[in-house]
């Protein structure tokens, strides 16, 4: 919040030789307080150049507002709209700080006066929004080595944190209705704010790793809500594009994924309620990009995710571009975690289908349908002993490291960063084997276990449907020197028909902790698991 500070003599010059009041807000005759929007506050980070940060708030309709930045002599003038909203677009600012932003509203009358509100200790840097369901809401206190990690946060005063409150709305809100954590300097207190409250572990470790590389201020805005499907985070236009009904089928309504479930809004129609209440109110703040961890609550109805996820990304991008008057990149970088595992031994295929649809069925990103999108694999970070249910991996550190590597390559354009695990380039069918060939970019692969592969065994060439085919295990063979190859060979002895496809890690929980079959080595000596895939073989007709 802005500081309450009485003005001395210097205030007369600041306010243009009129009587000044400096306070958090002052109610005008119209009953509208003069204030900054709720997503702004002391200690925040505003988006650095080449983008231009937008600052906005509410005030007396028709009154003049001036915004000044100090140190410096930048000044911006605007007028409160009839709806009592003012906004200014600042000049591009290099990373750094601290700065103070003062907003001055001038009142006309027999005794002219001005009301001054200010934001102190502001930094310019990169602003990232972190959203999704409970694995994004999952806090640092709940993860591995929480005591040490929380204390280490004291070393990062140039990372600033904000957490939106948990609330939904039937209609789009212009301002956040609740703030769980106002803008705060990273510290043991602001990072270790309790279970499910603040601060998001994945968001923190992602931002911390970026800061370690970039060495300039990072602002992290956490806006997540446990147990929520993607439909809640999508605008009505996205739902219409993807032919999604107003309500989810009863059997597909998301289940509670931790005991602290909070109802969002009353009634059956909860689609778009978090778009309305937790995304729409921050669309006027210029950002660098967003990261996302969600999908578990869509695993019971995965088909629609193929349309919804890319459409939601496009919608967020265009909405932020419009909301900031063109200052946010209309194709801003968007990162996500592929969902981890849950129930060991489960044959439910909802999870692998969500992982596949998260990539628009390419298996990797960026791709032609998802440009400037990056991801990290998490299916090997599941552990059966998580005290927060198996759906919530505690190892958010490795997630943050993997995702920040991908961001450095995709969002920041570092072409020297290796951020993707091995992905197959082709298949070679032999008499009793299939060789899975990985592209040269995979480098030397590491084999940690020999399972995970299946072949589609079909009675009809070039098809793999339930009526004529079945998936059978294809154990890995010829792995005597696994660290000196970029291919693996799997047996097709279990198939006595035609092999028409190969898939990998196609299970809800495909492997144990850091023990998936195939890994490659990423930058900074970070082992990267191969993502799940399905690849079809074209057998000549005849």
Q: CA–CA distance from 426 to each of 210, 420, 423 (Å)? A: 34, 17, 9
pLDDT at 277 over 60: yes
Per-residue pLDDT, 482: 47
How far apart (Å, rounded) are the C-alpha atoms in residues 377 and 369?
19
The answer, as to whether pTM is greater than 0.75, is yes
Per-residue pLDDT, 194: 87
pLDDT at 139 over 90: yes
| Architecture of the 124-317+380-404 domain | 3-Layer(aba) Sandwich (3.40)
Q: CA–CA distance from 15 to each of 92, 117, 449 (Å)? A: 24, 12, 70
Per-residue pLDDT, 540: 56
pLDDT at 89 over 70: yes
Per-residue pLDDT, 32: 75
Closest CA to 438 of 355, 511, 528, 341: 528
Per-residue pLDDT, 538: 74
Q: CATH 3.40.50 region(s) of the chain? A: 124-317+380-404
How far apart (Å, rounded) are the C-alpha atoms in residues 359 and 531?
10
Segment 142-158 shows an average pLDDT of 97
**What are the tokens at 316?**
């967020």
- Give residue-wise pLDDT tens across range 101-129: 999 999 877 777 889 999 999 999 999 99
Which phi and psi angles does 23 have, rounded to 5°? -155, 175
Q: CA–CA distance from 23 to each of 3, 105, 116 (Å)? A: 7, 12, 6
How far apart (Å, rounded) are the C-alpha atoms in residues 250 and 181?
34
pLDDT at 218 over 90: yes
How far apart (Å, rounded) are the C-alpha atoms in residues 107 and 515?
67
- Give residue-wise pLDDT tens across range 229-260: 999 999 999 999 999 976 554 334 444 454 34
Per-residue pLDDT, 13: 33
Q: Compute how many other C-beta atoms are within 10 angstroms of the C-beta atom of residue 260.
A: 13
pLDDT at 407 over 90: yes
Closest CA to 173 of 361, 23, 38, 7: 38
Beta-bridge partner residues of 374? 335
User: In angstroms, how far is the first alpha carbon of the chain from the final one?
Assistant: 74
pLDDT at 20 over 70: no
Per-residue pLDDT, 266: 54
- Give residue-wise pLDDT tens across range 342-375: 999 998 999 999 999 999 999 999 999 999 999 9
Per-residue pLDDT, 270: 86
Segment 200-216 shows an average pLDDT of 99
Per-residue pLDDT, 262: 47
Which of 246-250, 383-387, 510-514 has the lowest average pLDDT? 246-250
How far apart (Å, rounded) are the C-alpha atoms in residues 181 and 172?
21
Return the percentage of the chain with pLDDT > 70, whole number. Answer: 88
Segment 157-168 shows an average pLDDT of 98
- Give residue-wise pLDDT tens across range 449-491: 999 999 999 999 989 998 999 999 999 997 544 444 789 999 9
Beta-bridge partner residues of 96? 124
Per-residue pLDDT, 480: 45
Q: CA–CA distance from 514 to each of 355, 396, 477 (Å)? A: 18, 13, 21
Report the chain's mean pLDDT, rounded to a whole number. 89
How far apart (Å, rounded) are the C-alpha atoms in residues 207 and 290?
11
Per-residue pLDDT, 101: 97
Segment 36-64 shows an average pLDDT of 96
């Amino acid at each position: 919040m802005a500081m309450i500070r009485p003005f001395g003599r210097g205030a007369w010059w600041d306010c243009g030789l009129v009587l000044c009041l400096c306070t958090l807000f002052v109610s005008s005759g119209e009953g509208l307080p003069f204030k900054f929007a709720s997503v702004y506050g002391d200690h925040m980070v505003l988006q650095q150049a080449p983008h231009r940060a937008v600052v906005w708030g509410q005030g007396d309709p028709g009154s003049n507002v001036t915004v000044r930045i100090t140190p410096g002599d930048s000044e911006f003038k605007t007028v409160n709209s009839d709806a009592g909203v003012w906004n200014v677009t600042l000049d591009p600012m290099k990373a750094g700080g601290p700065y103070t932003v003062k907003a001055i509203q001038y009142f006309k009358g027999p005794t002219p006066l001005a009301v001054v509100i200010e934001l102190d200790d502001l930094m310019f840097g990169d602003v990232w929004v972190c959203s999704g369901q409970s694995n994004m809401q999952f806090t640092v206190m709940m993860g591995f080595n929480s005591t040490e990690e929380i204390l280490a946060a004291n070393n990062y005063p140039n990372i600033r944190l904000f957490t939106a409150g948990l609330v939904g709305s039937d209609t789009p809100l212009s301002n956040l209705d609740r703030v769980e954590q106002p803008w705060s300097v990273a510290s043991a207190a602001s990072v270790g704010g309790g279970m499910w409250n603040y601060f998001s572990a994945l968001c923190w470790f992602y931002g911390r790793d970026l800061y370690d590389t970039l060495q300039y201020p990072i602002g992290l805005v956490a806006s997540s809500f446990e147990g929520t499907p993607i439909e809640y985070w999508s605008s009505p236009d996205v739902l219409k594009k993807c032919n999604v009904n107003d309500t989810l089928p009863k059997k597909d309504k998301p289940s509670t994924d931790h005991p602290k479930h909070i109802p969002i809004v009353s009634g059956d129609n909860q689609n778009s309620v978090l778009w309305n209440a937790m995304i729409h109110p921050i669309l006027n703040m210029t950002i660098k990009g967003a990261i996302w961890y969600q999908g578990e609550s869509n695993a019971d109805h995965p088909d629609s995710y193929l349309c919804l996820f890319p459409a939601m990304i496009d919608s967020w991008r265009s909405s932020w571009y419009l909301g900031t008057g063109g200052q946010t990149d209309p194709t801003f970088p968007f990162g996500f975690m592929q969902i981890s595992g849950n129930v060991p031994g489960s044959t439910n295929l909802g999870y692998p289908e969500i992982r596949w649809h998260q990539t628009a069925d390419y298996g990797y990103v960026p791709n032609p349908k998802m440009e400037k999108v990056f991801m990290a694999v998490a299916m090997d970070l599941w552990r059966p002993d998580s005290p927060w249910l198996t759906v919530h991996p505690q190892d958010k550190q490795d997630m943050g490291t993997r995702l920040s590597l991908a961001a450095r390559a995709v969002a920041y354009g570092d072409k020297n960063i290796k951020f993707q695990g091995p992905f197959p380039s082709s298949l070679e069918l032999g008499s009793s084997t299939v060789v899975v060939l990985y592209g040269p970019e995979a480098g030397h692969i590491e084999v940690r276990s020999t399972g995970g592969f299946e072949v589609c065994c079909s009675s009809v060439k070039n098809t793999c449907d339930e009526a004529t085919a079945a998936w059978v295990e294809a154990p890995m063979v010829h792995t005597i020197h696994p660290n000196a190859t970029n291919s693996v060979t799997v047996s097709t002895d279990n198939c006595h028909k035609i092999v028409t496809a190969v898939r990998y890690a196609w299970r809800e929980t495909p492997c144990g902790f850091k023990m998936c079959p195939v890994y490659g080595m990423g930058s900074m000596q970070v082992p990267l698991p191969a993502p799940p895939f399905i690849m079809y073989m074209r057998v000549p007709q005849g």
